[in-house]
């Protein structure tokens, strides 16, 4: 197998690995951040102890993350349309929809976190990076570089034009017009 086959084989294994790692490592990071960023419970909040100590389980976060990535299935079909503006609008739309699903489901846990604003920004940023990565990695087709024609620096000398004309007349003797 040549170099091209090896490179293609390596890339085809790397792509699913990146997606798998994203879908499994980010929920673990988010779970750890939720687990260790709970606000301290005051006596006034003691009535709502169930919601005050709510942190999603690791399994539920992995499920929520998986469901939030479902938007990329129809978007990936639309990314095949090679209109750059449309592709980037789909990146933004998919990232916001996917991030909004996560934030809506995780709202109780975000309320109880000391770093809720940073977690929201982190979730949305991760989804924007994921959507841009999907589009650039799988569907981006860079525009062809413009073909530049060499520009002559000076007009040909009259003697060169005369020589070309005489050579053309010698080759085509039947075409003699005055």
Q: For the chain, how many structural domains are there in total?
A: 1
Q: Are 22 and 130 in contact (CB under 8 A)?
A: yes
Token pair for 130: 């994921």
pLDDT in tens, 49-76: 555 567 888 999 999 988 988 999 999 8
Q: Place 140 in a pLDDT band, splitting at 50, 70 and 90.
A: confident
Instruction: Give me the domain span that covers residue 22.
Output: 8-139
Q: Place 121 in a pLDDT band, splitting at 50, 70 and 90.
A: very high
The pLDDT score that the predictor gives to residue 55 is 80
In a domain, 77, yes or no: yes
Verdict on whether the full-model pTM lies above 0.75: no
In a domain, 12, yes or no: yes
The pLDDT score that the predictor gives to residue 96 is 92
In a domain, 160, yes or no: no
Angle CA(124)–CA(127)–CA(131) in degrees, nearest 5?
A: 140
Q: Place 92 in a pLDDT band, splitting at 50, 70 and 90.
A: very high
Q: What is the 3-state secondary structure (H, E, C) of 70-125?
A: HHHHHHHHHCCCCCHHHHHHHHHHHHHHHHHHHHHHCHHHHHCECCHHHHHHHHHH
In a domain, 33, yes or no: yes
């Amino acid at each position: 197998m040549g170099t091209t086959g090896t490179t293609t084989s390596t890339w085809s294994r790397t792509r699913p690995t990146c997606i798998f790692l994203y879908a499994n490592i980010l929920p673990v990071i988010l779970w750890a951040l939720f687990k260790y960023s709970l606000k301290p419970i005051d006596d006034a909040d003691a009535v709502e102890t169930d919601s005050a100590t709510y942190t999603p389980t690791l399994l539920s976060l992995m499920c929520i993350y998986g469901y939030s990535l479902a938007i990329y299935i129809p978007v990936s079909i639309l990314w095949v349309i090679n209109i750059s503006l449309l592709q980037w609008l789909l990146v933004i739309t998919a990232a916001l929809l996917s991030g909004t699903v996560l934030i809506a489901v995780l709202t109780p846990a975000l309320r109880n976190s000391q770093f809720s604003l940073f977690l929201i920004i982190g979730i949305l940023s991760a989804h924007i990076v994921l959507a841009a990565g999907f589009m650039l990695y799988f569907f981006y087709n860079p525009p062809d570089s413009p073909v530049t024609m060499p520009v002559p620096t000076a007009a040909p000398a009259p003697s060169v034009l005369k020589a070309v004309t005489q050579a053309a007349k010698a080759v085509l003797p039947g075409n003699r017009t005055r």
